[in-house]
Amino acid sequence: MTSFLLSLTGGLLAALAAPWLTRRFPKRSGWLLALAPLGILVSLMNLLPALRNGESPSVSLAWAESLGLSATFQLDGLGALLAALVAGIGALVLIYGGAYLSGHPNLTRFYVVVLLFMTAMLGLAVSANALLLFIFWELTSITSFLLIGFEHERPAARAAAWQALLVTGGGGLALLAGFILLGNLTGSYEIPQWIAQKEVIAASPQSTAAFLLILAGAMTKSAQFPFHFWLPNAMEAPTPVSAYLHSATMVKAGVFLLARLLPALGGLPAWQGLIPWIGLATLLTGALLSLGQADLKKLLAYTTVASLGALVMLLGINTPLSVKAAMVFLPAHALYKGALFLVAGGVDHAVHTRDIRDLGGLGRAMPLTAAAAGLAALSMAGIPPFFGFIAKEVVYESALGAPALAAWVTALTILANIILAAAAGWVALAPFWEKARKDLHPHEGGAGLWLPPLILAALGLVSGLLPELAAKNWIAPAVSSVLGKPYEVKLSLWHGLNLPLLFSLITLLAAVLLYTLRVAARSADADAWQHLARFGPAAMYARGLKGLLSFAALQTRLLQSGYLRVYVLFITLFTVGMALPPALLSMRALPPAVWTGVRFYDVILVLIIVTAAFFVVRATSRLATIALLGAIGFSIAILFLLYSAPDLAMTQFAVETLTVILFVLVIYRLPKFSRLSSRPARLRDILIAGLGGLMMTLLMLVVSYHGQDSRLASFFMENSLPKAYGRNVVNVILVDFRGFDTLGEITVLAIAAVGVFALVRGAAKRKGERHE
Amino acid sequence: MNSDLLTILLPTLALTGWALLLLLVDLWIPREHKGITAVLAAAGLAAALGLTLSQGRLPAMTDSTVMVISDGYALFLDVLFLASGLAGVALAHEYLKRANIANGEYYALLLFSVAGMMLMAHAYNLILIFLALELLSIPLYILSGINRPRLESEESALKYFLLGAFSSGFVLYGTALIYGATARTDLPGIFAALQSAPVNPVIFILGAVLLLVGLAYKVSAVPFHMWTPDVYEGAPTPVTGFMAVAVKAAGFAVLGRILMAAFPTVGKDLTPILWALAALTMLVGNLAAITQKSIKRMLAYSSIAHAGYLLMALVPFSNRLVNSDVQASLLFYLVAYALTGLGAWAVVTALEKQNGDGLKLEDYAGLGKSHPWLALAMTVFMLSFTGIPLTLGFWGKFYLFRTAIEGGFTLLAVIGVVTSLISAYYYLRVLMYMYMRAGSPSVERAPWLQVTAVAAALAVVLISFIPNVLLNLAGNSLLLLP
């Protein structure tokens, strides 16, 4: 196991070496780099005997233990199946990409990112820790983003990359939330621990939330309805990328995750209740939408969506048979769809178009590509003796065993498969053997362009002819690890005369009919699809994004006016909002008001204050405002005096006088008094000011009712004379008990005065200089 | 003055003394050699850092008047503040020369502000907390206006000052009410009073709320955040970077200490308020950042959003069971945020032109081709801000979400996840510009900026591979609970 993990770093080393290799061997760089994944594949093969025996070797490295995390890698049958596909197809794609992008200025970037992606994907396959898995998961999203936007000069490629990243990245975050929920539930992030504690998970009320979050992650990654729209758009990527990431491997990550967590979460009622329908919806959506496509790659993309739906549906059905079907269909699909994508790229490379309405007659000039296409298409159409046929048989068999509405599920699966089989013809037969409608000047490319698809397609034939080999080495360990118990897998071409065989026959016949009608080419011209697109989830996504942006703009405009006064207003409003409820609640505890003898001068003073406050805000001249403010200040000072606080009153008198003088001095330097607020704005201000006043009033009432701690007062009263020899307590506090504070204050004032002096002098000097 | 007080405050006092000296010495340093002042300031910060580290083994203690405290929490934050101060010097030197405002006061003011932050981390008494807050803020009011002939800078300083004074009023009023209710201003005293004496709950809660409002302003939590974008945009970029990172950390330092050391028994009343603040801050910060065209403003909103995530860490503050996780996740996130933020601001400073151009997103087009290392560093920062794996930001967010869920605040964690997704939109857009659009950005030749950026990027990535180091450090830096 350790040696296998070490071999994974081969991908990273190759990525490091890629720039040099590309410069040194511009023609052969792809072949050389392919050695890295091949090495990984060989190292994986070495572990096969152990896996066949039901072992799952693991390595655990210390990581962030404080968070309860360790980097645990474990290779089981499921991981090995995915890893083999990733490494094997990776090698072919590197070879193919070297030829396809030969001479491209960014070829190095392609190599580096593809190799990084491959390493992340392999890491995903062998992660036994959920956090580790999440990390690799996000890395595949990012590398996918970089590869979709590979030709970033085109705005369409940028937009598609962006969309794929937002959809899959968002799903990834949901996945993380789900993982954290499960981690808290079980106290561990190790997936085997989750499986061991599946009863704990099932018993928790949070399990459904966790399941839904994880499902959202899997659905976005594996392009399940209604998140399927990003995948066809991702066809902006160079074709080798589409073949590798968006058909054979990365989009399988969601399926892989479901299979990985099936032993832990498969028992939840929502699993069987929800997943099969999502899968079926995706299967139908992909199949039906593929009818409207004229672009080879988009057509293939929609069939990929359909196949991913089938895989998810199978895992959702969650019977041993359906799990087996999923594990058979997964590699079968990867082999033929990868090959067909590479073929589409080869055609594009040769004749510079991918429109099936223009393509035709390429078979003679490109015999090897045509052979690869034919082999792959036969497997996709499910014709014996190809692996695709075996896969389809078991899929039908599983559909018959669906938990609910089995007849409907089977019928719809057959319908989708008819379309997919016909699509295989449109993609792989029509361009080569139908009559050409245009003079295309086709020519066969180099070995790098035809060999990889041919190998993939041939593997589909070999596995079909020797199904036991595939079953024993790959399928059985994978199924066993998903089911959590040894499971024997028997695959054969001939099952006897049974329903699935009948369905296969129906599928084929209907597909031939559909193919000859050339529905795809015709309906691609129809407007109906464009109309349909307006209601699709892609349009919803676009509308949602636009809505989010305009909402964001609106709330920013609302809150961020740039005016200080508005900010102050908001701060006041929210503070009142936070403080008023407790203050109001406390009002009930206050005793009823008791009016002690109110003296007439109290009333007069209060009236003066209220009236002055009213006119302060109404006044139209600065001088009047200042005078009124002064009136308020002096009235308050008199109140202090009346309530036997002469020292406070004296201070207040002094401060008021000073402020009025300062105001008057400043007033001549200010601009003219003007009203800036409109009437509604002023009304709003009154309301908020009133609320602020209300809060302060309540506060005063509460505080004055409950009274203060008078320990300090009595301390000063008692100690003023004996300790400080002073009868004026306030004075004693200032110069004695708190003498250092007073010294500090005086110092601050002195420094401030020096500062003001320096400023004034500096200003005067500058003014003088300007005059001279 | 007792000896404990001296021991606890030694690094802070040394730094303050050094800053005073620097102010004097700078008078003799000619304008074209202000680099000397920068080096001297850095030396002072480094010396204070050394002093702080030498205190690492001291046991947690308070002085006899219960004014200050020294514990793992405070020392951890001290290191963070001093390191941010060093980065603040590195960011500023070339920028000041370029903008023609190479005044030595910059460094002295920066040092005063750092001293204020350290005092914040050590303060154990509401009065001292207020003083520290002012010591931290007043130099920053000046610093944000230091680019004086430019109107934006002056506006920024004035807004910051007026609203800052306003919010200081809240802190003071809150302190007064809390004193009125408990007759104490020292945090352990308040804690004890809440448990025993007949405290008036209303007055106390009102005081606590006002205190929260004042501090929410300092950490720019929504709805008290409005000053942030305006001030951050107008202030000189190195100052903005320093404010976005260090001031926020200082605000959270003191918020965390008050909540956990003094208020754990009133969680019932304060938790809903914190919850709402955290949720609003994450939502509004991230939504507003989407619409920004200027990178400086975008990062300002992003700093608001991150305040929301940090607040989320504090929401379960009164739950004793997750208390250590609350502290550790807060500290860990602060470090992750500081490294990421300082690096990102270094890149922004490097691209800003003398006349204040170069701050639009379009100005980053083509950076990937023309300056691959700088672009790579910026990529790391944007990914880390988003919380994507293999960056420190991922661990930070993961730990936060985990703590929130452990504390029983699943909905809040989900809001955090959703807003992180929204944030991906604007952070990754920077990557789109750098790598997928053509352009010829001009980058100022500023070696220190690039060193800061690359070093921060390396730290963000490398530590993410060995998060244990930092996790253990944060987990062991717990505050002394009464």
**CA–CA distance, A411 with A400 (Å, rounded to integer):** 9
A215 and A253 share a domain? yes
**CA–CA distance, A254 with A762 (Å, rounded to integer):** 71
Structural domain tally of chain A?
3
Tell me if A556 and B291 make a contact (CB, 8 A cut-off): yes
Chain A residues near residue B205 by CB distance under 8 angstroms: 582
Does residue A654 sit within a domain?
A: no
pLDDT, position B129: 95
Q: Which two tokens stand for residue A378?
A: 């036969």
**CA–CA distance, B85 with B242 (Å, rounded to integer):** 7
Helix spans in A101-227 (H): 107-126, 130-148, 155-186, 191-196, 198-203, 207-221
Measuring CA to CA, which residue among B276, B368, B274 is closest to residue B316? Answer: B274
- Of residues B213, B401, B414, nearest to A575 (C-beta): B213
Chain A residues near residue B163 by CB distance under 8 angstroms: 564, 567-568, 571
Share of chain A above pLDDT 70, in %: 95
pLDDT, position B237: 92
Between A446 and B307, the more confident residue is B307
**CA–CA distance, A429 with A377 (Å, rounded to integer):** 8
Domain boundary among A221, A245, A265: A265
Give yes or no for a contact between B405 and A180, defined as CB atoms under 8 angstroms apart.
Answer: yes
Q: Which two tokens stand for residue A682?
A: 């002023």
Of A550-564, A581-595, B197-211, least confident by mean pLDDT is A581-595
Label residues A419-428 b or e (16+ Cβ within 10 Å = b): bbbbbbbbbb
Chain B residues near residue A176 by CB distance under 8 angstroms: 398, 401, 417
Please list the residues that pair with A71 across neighbouring strands: A61
Does residue A640 sit within a domain?
A: no
- Of residues A169, A181, A568, nearest to B166 (C-beta): A568
Q: Element (H or E) spanning A250, and its range?
A: none
Measured from the Cβ of residue B336, the count of other Cβ atoms closer than 10 Å reads 29
A254 and A312 share a domain? no
A488: exposed, middle or buried (Cβ count in 10 Å: 0-12, 13-18, 19+): exposed
How does pLDDT run across A385-397, given as a tens digit for each residue?
888 888 888 888 8
**CA–CA distance, B225 with B244 (Å, rounded to integer):** 12
Does residue A558 sit within a domain?
A: no
pLDDT, position A578: 83
Q: Which two tokens stand for residue B460?
A: 């963000």
A232 and A359 share a domain? no
Chain B residues near residue A67 by CB distance under 8 angstroms: 395, 398-399, 402, 467, 471
**CA–CA distance, A388 with A428 (Å, rounded to integer):** 15
Cα dist from A413 to A313, A328, A396, A491, B383, whole Å? 10, 16, 8, 21, 42
Measuring CA to CA, which residue among A545, A486, A455, A467 is closest to residue A320? Answer: A486
**CA–CA distance, A321 with A333 (Å, rounded to integer):** 18
Place of tokens 């509460």: A702
Cα dist from A84 to A2, A37, A376, whole Å? 17, 9, 19
Of A290-299, A521-530, A563-572, B331-340, least confident by mean pLDDT is A521-530
What average pLDDT does range A100-117 have in this prediction?
Answer: 86
User: Which residues, including other chains, have CB under 8 Å from residue B180's CB and lie 6 or more apart?
Assistant: A703, A708, A709, B200, B203, B207
Between B158 and A532, the more confident residue is B158
Per-residue pLDDT band at B221 (split at 50, 70, 90): very high
Minimal C-alpha gap between B291 and chain A (Å): 6
Per-residue pLDDT band at A59 (split at 50, 70, 90): confident
Q: Which residue of chain A comes nearest to B229, CA vs CA?
A: A560
How does pLDDT run across A725-734, given as a tens digit for each residue?
888 887 888 8
What average pLDDT does range A159-171 have in this prediction?
Answer: 86
Between A101 and B108, the more confident residue is B108
A181 and A275 share a domain? no
- Of residues B206, B226, B472, nearest to A560 (C-beta): B226
Does residue A75 sit within a domain?
A: yes
A492 and A349 share a domain? yes
- Of residues A152, A176, A549, nearest to B436 (C-beta): A152
A171 and A294 share a domain? no
pLDDT, position B126: 95
Q: What is the DSSP string of B238-296?
A: HHHHHIIIIIHHHHHHHHHHIIIII-GGGHHHHHHHHHHHHHHHHHHHHHHHHT--BHH
User: CA angle at residue A166 from A165 to A169, to 5 degrees?
Assistant: 70
Of A56-60, A124-128, B233-237, least confident by mean pLDDT is A56-60
Amino acid at A726: G
Show the 3-state SS of B180-203.
HHHCCCEHHHHHHHHHCCCCCHHH
Q: Does A559 touch chain B (CB under 8 A)?
A: yes
Give yes or no for a contact between B218 and B134, defined as CB atoms under 8 angstroms apart.
Answer: no
Q: Does A204 touch chain B (CB under 8 A)?
A: no
Q: Does A541 touch chain B (CB under 8 A)?
A: no
pLDDT, position A534: 63
What average pLDDT does range B220-233 have in this prediction?
Answer: 90
Query: Which DSSP category does A72 fall into?
Result: E
Residue B469 has pLDDT above 60, yes or no: yes
Residue B250 has pLDDT above 90, yes or no: yes
R_g of chain B computed on alpha carbons: 21
- Of residues A149, A153, A560, nearest to B288 (C-beta): A560
A261 and A283 share a domain? no
Does residue A638 sit within a domain?
A: no
Per-residue pLDDT band at A533 (split at 50, 70, 90): low
Please list the residues that pair with B69 across neighbouring strands: B62
A195 and A301 share a domain? no
Of A121-125, A532-536, B90-94, B304-308, least confident by mean pLDDT is A532-536
Q: What is the DSSP string of A502-524?
A: HHHHHHHHHHHHHHHHTHHHHHH
pLDDT, position A518: 67
Phi then psi for residue B252, to 5 deg, are: -70, -30
Per-residue pLDDT band at A407 (split at 50, 70, 90): confident
Cα dist from B398 to A207, A249, B317, B387, whole Å? 19, 27, 18, 8
Q: Element (H or E) spanning A60, and its range?
A: strand A58-62
How does pLDDT run across A693-730, given as a tens digit for each residue?
888 888 887 777 766 666 778 888 888 888 888 888 87
Amino acid at B377: A
Give yes or no for a contact between A343 and A373, defined as CB atoms under 8 angstroms apart.
Answer: yes
Interface mutation vs chain B, best among A181, A575, A576, A711, most B CBs within 10 Å: A575
Residue A657 has pLDDT above 70, yes or no: yes
Q: Which residue of chain B comes nearest to A573, CA vs CA?
A: B223
Q: Which two tokens stand for residue A142?
A: 């990012």
**CA–CA distance, A413 with A407 (Å, rounded to integer):** 10
pLDDT, position A707: 63
Chain B residues near residue A702 by CB distance under 8 angstroms: 200, 202-203, 206
Give yes or no for a contact between A175 and A253, defined as CB atoms under 8 angstroms apart.
Answer: no
A21 and A116 share a domain? yes
Place of tokens 């899959």: A168
Does residue A346 sit within a domain?
A: yes
Tell me if B389 and A138 make a contact (CB, 8 A cut-off): yes
Containing structural domain, residue A356: 268-544
A59: exposed, middle or buried (Cβ count in 10 Å: 0-12, 13-18, 19+): middle
Measured from the Cβ of residue A603, the count of other Cβ atoms closer than 10 Å reads 10
pLDDT, position A527: 62
Q: Which two tokens stand for residue A30?
A: 């792809």
Chain B residues near residue A169 by CB distance under 8 angstroms: 421, 424
pLDDT, position A423: 83
Amino acid at A200: V
pLDDT, position A364: 80
What average pLDDT does range B158-171 have in this prediction?
Answer: 92
pLDDT, position A148: 87
Place of tokens 């896969």: A391
Asked if residue A155 has a cis previous peptide bond (ω within 30° of 0), the answer is no
A341 and A459 share a domain? yes
Please list the residues that pair with A59 across neighbouring strands: A73
**CA–CA distance, B237 with B240 (Å, rounded to integer):** 5
Chain B residues near residue A183 by CB distance under 8 angstroms: 402
Q: Which two tokens stand for residue A231?
A: 């995948």
Phi then psi for residue A355, to 5 deg, are: -85, 120
Q: Please identify among residues 225-244 of chain A the ones whose CB lies closer than 8 Å to any CB of chain B.
A: none
B68 three-class SS: strand
How does pLDDT run across A306-315, given as a tens digit for each residue?
899 989 998 8
Residue A135 has pLDDT above 60, yes or no: yes
Minimal C-alpha gap between A69 and chain B (Å): 10
pLDDT, position B140: 94
How does pLDDT run across B333-386, given as a tens digit for each residue?
999 999 999 999 999 999 988 777 888 888 998 888 888 889 999 999 999 999
Place of tokens 């991702």: A234
Q: Element (H or E) spanning A74, and its range?
A: strand A70-74
Q: Element (H or E) spanning A630, and its range?
A: helix A622-642
A293 and A427 share a domain? yes
**CA–CA distance, B381 with B431 (Å, rounded to integer):** 10
Per-residue pLDDT band at B395 (split at 50, 70, 90): very high
Please list the residues that pair with B61 across neighbouring strands: B70
Domain boundary among A488, A519, A544: A544
Measured from the Cβ of residue A273, the count of other Cβ atoms closer than 10 Å reads 12
Measured from the Cβ of residue A154, the count of other Cβ atoms closer than 10 Å reads 13
Give yes or no for a contact between A620 and A673, defined as CB atoms under 8 angstroms apart.
Answer: yes
Cα dist from B348 to A145, A547, B357, whole Å? 25, 30, 11
Does residue A433 sit within a domain?
A: yes
Domain boundary among A496, A528, A544: A544
What average pLDDT does range A427-438 have in this prediction?
Answer: 77
Per-residue pLDDT band at B19 (split at 50, 70, 90): very high
Q: Element (H or E) spanning B66, and its range?
A: none
How does pLDDT run across A333-362, given as a tens digit for each residue?
898 888 888 888 888 888 887 877 777 777
**CA–CA distance, A332 with A380 (Å, rounded to integer):** 8
Q: Which two tokens stand for residue A136?
A: 């690799």
How does pLDDT run across B414-457, given as a tens digit for each residue?
899 889 988 988 998 898 888 878 888 888 778 888 899 999 99
pLDDT, position B357: 82
**CA–CA distance, A370 with A431 (Å, rounded to integer):** 9
What average pLDDT does range B204-231 have in this prediction?
Answer: 91
Dihedral sign, Cα of residue B159, residue B160, residue B164, residue B167: positive
- CA A642 and chain centroid, separation: 67
Q: Which two tokens stand for residue B345?
A: 């601001």
pLDDT, position A124: 92
**CA–CA distance, B453 with B348 (Å, rounded to integer):** 10
pLDDT, position B228: 92
Does residue A659 sit within a domain?
A: no
A169 and A288 share a domain? no
Chain B residues near residue A542 by CB distance under 8 angstroms: none
